[in-house]
A and B are shown apart, each in its own frame.
Chain A
Amino acid sequence: MIDISGLVNLMIAEQVNIPLLYPIIYNFVLKIPVIGNIVAFLLGIPIIRYLIAFILWKPIFILLIIPGFGTLGTMLLVLPWLERKLVGRMQWRVGPREIAPRTRGSIQLLADSLRFLCQEVIIHKEAHKPYFLQFPFLYFLPVLLPLLFINAGTIGRTLVPIESEYALQLMIALISLMPVFILGVGWSSNNRFAFIGTVREAFMYFAYEIPFIIAILAMVILYGTSNTVGVVSAQTSWWNWGIILNPLAALTFFVAAVMATARLPFEIPEADQELAFGPFIEYSGIAFGLAYVMAYEKMYVLSAIMTMLFLGAGSGPAIPYVTPLLGDLYYAILFVIKTLIILLVMVNLRGVYPRYRLDQGLRIGWGAMLTLGLIAVAWSIVLGVVL
């Protein structure tokens, strides 16, 4: 038997604080006749207690449940549905509905993903088979890793899996990795359109990456730290959120994020009508499903960063009774709601804008966005001096 008591103690010390949880279990769940007994029995087993402790261990809870993978997974199911619904409203129609009309068609994506799962995966003979198959899966990692550094809490309530002095830099580095995989995907597809799409992606990569970094840089200068905990603590209340202090940086970041996730009006590398999904043109079945999901993951990560940098992460007014009961969870939920709002704005741009041409996209990236970013940096410096 390995002695895990040290680890357990460590975990117990850093449990996520949800005051509501224990009253619920002890006052409600355990009093339900049969289920209560079972739960009581389960709680009696040591390993399960350790497991619960492990899950409720702050870094793990944040990473796995909220705002980490669990939320991400839910988001992936809900977001496309919400997107379709909202864009549908914008377009004078209703969006998915016939599937389970009671739920307003909310399980549409479940059907889609199930169908993708059961479908044939075609690897055409001209493709570079190993890379063609590996890249979509490899792509997963750099997309998810930035979540490790996201602080979803607020001042005094840090909700971050890994605290680091270089958290923002690391995030930038990880996000910059993503296009490399898209390039790989496009290259291994060995298709004209994938090739053109890849080249476009490469061009766009440089165009958005620099404003993106500069926007973050502006905030780093403003907050005087690149530690996510520090960043969040700097935004004490709504009037000194990043977006208020430096709206230009927020705009630059947002536009760069839209560019990075290839959403309209910057859906240039995928350009359905021109390139038919560009780099992903040859993917079918679950492989395409992955690629489809990946875009949303990336969007989620970028929105989360934006929430953290500009919208004060989980900070928000405390609501009597609710806040004390939910504890840490309240701030995490606030964080997720803010992220969702950013996400919805981002995805619904699809209903408002057509697509820019590559050269126009590049011009915006290298021209307007870079200028805005630099102004934002200057503004940060000015603010830094003043404050």
Chain B
Amino acid sequence: MKKVGTPEYNLQDKLKYHLSALSTAAKQVALPLNITTHYPRERRRWPDCFRGYILFDPERCISCFQCSFICPANAIWMKEAPSNRYYPTLDYGKCIFCHFCVDSCPGGALKPTKIHDVAYRTMEEMLTLTEEMVEPPEIIREDKVFVDYVIDTEDLSLKRTKGRDNLIVEIAPSQGVPMVSQCVDRASCIACKVCEKVCESGAVSSIKDEERLIVKMAIDAEKCTGCGLCVKECSMQILRLVRK
């Protein structure tokens, strides 16, 4: 345990510390330890892992809704898209840039960028539709120089480089873990076909045999993307995700 006392200044101390404050200030006037970045004309280079605006790759999306489910701010709403799919839309009026969605995306369809300095005139503009999330957006760039913070054992210093920092980072998309849906209690199935209805990849199929009074249910492991929606929605809770 350390005790910290408060100092008691006598006249000499006072003079000494007045002088030390004044001389520190004078030194800074002469040789400042300046760390200013002139923002619109210069730009700090953020690290590649920076969590900024999000791009979307429809090729990799398996329409699993996980981004929407995990979003703590409920900023991601899924929008209907071709071939029975749902793609994310993002409301930047709500997004808190936690990138839980990016980390959740099993196919790596959501990609982070370093774009972050944006201002909108209306709140309606802040809703970004799927179509707009595919290509990197253009933002106003007044910067001609980018600045790196260099921290060595001595001090923090700025390193200025002419040119423009690329805001679109190439990070290898995550592969996720290949999963497939399985029925674990077939006798309890009621053939309600919710799984079929909720499946976007057409992996679940049901054929009704009117004569034999049976429904043939099947999950095609090849087609199944492992999105897990059928598992979640199954009214009897008899489906499970297992590793492929």
Whether A92 contacts B36 by the Cβ 8 Å rule is yes
Count of A-B contacts judged by CB separation below 8 Å: 33
- Let me know if A97 and B38 touch, CB within 8 A: yes
Contact of B36 among A86, A90, A94, A352 (CB under 8 A): A94
Q: For residue B36, give the distance in angstroms from its CB to the closest CB of chain A.
A: 5
Q: How far is the CA of A89 from the CA of B33 in the complex (A)?
A: 8
Residues of A within 8 A of B29 (CB): 86, 89-90, 348
**Cβ-based interface call for B34 (8 A):** yes
Q: Are A92 and B38 in contact (CB under 8 A)?
A: no
Residue B81 at the chain A interface, CB threshold 8 Å: no
The answer, yes or no, to whether A351 is at the interface (CB within 8 Å) is: yes
Cβ A353 vs Cβ B28 within 8 A: no
Cβ–Cβ < 8 Å partners of A90 in chain B: 25, 28-29, 32
Q: When the two chains form their complex, are residues A348 and B25 in contact, meaning their CB atoms are under 8 A apart?
A: yes
CB-based contact B35/A92 at 8 Å: yes
Instruction: Give Cα A208 to B218, complex, Å.
Output: 94
Q: Which of A77-120 contact B (CB under 8 A)?
A: 86, 89-94, 97-98
CA distance A97 to B38 in the complex (A): 9
Report chain B residues within 8 Å CB of A351: 25
- Does A93 lie within 8 Å of B34, measured CB to CB? yes
Quote the shortest CB–CB distance from A79 to chain B (angstroms). Answer: 16
Say yes or no for B40: interface residue by CB 8 A criterion.
yes
Asked if B169 is at the interface of the complex by the 8 Å CB criterion, the answer is no
> In the assembled complex, how far is the CB of residue B213 from the closest CB belonging to chain A, in whole angstroms?
80
Assuming the contacts A89-B29, A90-B28, A92-B28, asked whether A352 and B22 have C-beta atoms less than 8 A apart, the reply is yes
What is the predominant secondary structure among interface residues of chain A facing chain B? Answer: loop
Q: Which residues of B contact A86 (CB under 8 A)?
A: 29
Q: List B contacts of A91 (CB < 8 A).
A: 28
Say which residue of A89, A348, A353 sits within 8 Å of B34 (CB atoms). A89
The smallest C-beta distance from B44 to any residue of chain A, in angstroms, reads 15
Q: Scoring B residues 59 to 101 as 1 if CB is less than 8 Å from chain A, else 0, what string do you get?
A: 0000000000000000000000000000000000000000000
- 0/1 string, B19-56, CB within 8 A of A gives 1: 00110110011001111101010000000000000000
A: interface residue count bin: 10 to 19
Complex CA gap A89/B24 in Å reads: 12
Which residues of chain B are near A98, meaning CB under 8 Å?
Answer: 38, 40
Point out the residues of chain A lying under 8 angstroms from B28, CB to CB: 89-92
B145 smallest CB distance to A (angstroms): 13
Q: Are A352 and B32 in contact (CB under 8 A)?
A: no
Q: How far is the CB of A353 from chain B (nearest CB, A)?
A: 7
Q: Which residues of B contact A348 (CB under 8 A)?
A: 25, 29
Report the bound CA distance from A351 to B29 in whole Å.
Answer: 10
Q: Name which residue of chain B comes closest to A95, CB basis.
A: B36
Residues of chain A within 8 A (CB-CB) of B22 are: 352
Residues B153-170 near A (CB distance < 8 A): none
B residues near A352, Cβ cutoff 8 Å: 21-22, 24-25
Pairwise interchain contact A89-B32, C-beta atoms closer than 8 A: yes
In the assembly, what is the distance between CA of A351 and CA of B27, in Å? 12
Alpha-carbon distance A348/B24, docked complex (angstroms):
13
A100 to chain B, nearest CB (A): 14
Chain A residues with CB under 8 Å of B40's CB are 98
Residues of B contacting A89 in the complex (Cβ-Cβ under 8 angstroms): 28-29, 32, 34
Chain B nearest CB: distance from A369 CB in Å? 15
Contact with B along A252-278 (1 / 0, CB 8 A): 000000000000000000000000000
A353 proximity list for chain B (CB < 8 A): 21
Distance (whole angstroms) from the CB of A84 to the closest CB of chain B: 13
CA distance A86 to B22 in the complex (A): 13
Task: State A86–B40 Cα separation when bound (angstroms).
Answer: 23
Give the residue name and chain of the B residue nearest to A353 (CB).
Answer: B21
- Known: A92-B35, A94-B34, A94-B36; 12 extra A-B contacts, CB below 8 A, are A86-B29, A89-B28, A90-B28, A90-B32, A92-B33, A92-B34, A93-B34, A93-B35, A98-B38, A98-B40, A351-B25, A352-B24
B-contacting residues of A (Cβ < 8 Å)? 86, 89-94, 97-98, 348, 351-353
A-B CB proximity, top 4 nearest: A352-B25, A90-B28, A89-B32, A93-B36
Pairs across A and B, CB under 8 Å, 24 listed: A86-B29, A89-B28, A89-B29, A89-B32, A89-B34, A90-B28, A90-B29, A90-B32, A92-B28, A92-B32, A92-B33, A92-B34, A92-B35, A93-B34, A93-B35, A94-B34, A97-B38, A98-B38, A98-B40, A348-B25, A351-B25, A352-B21, A352-B24, A352-B25
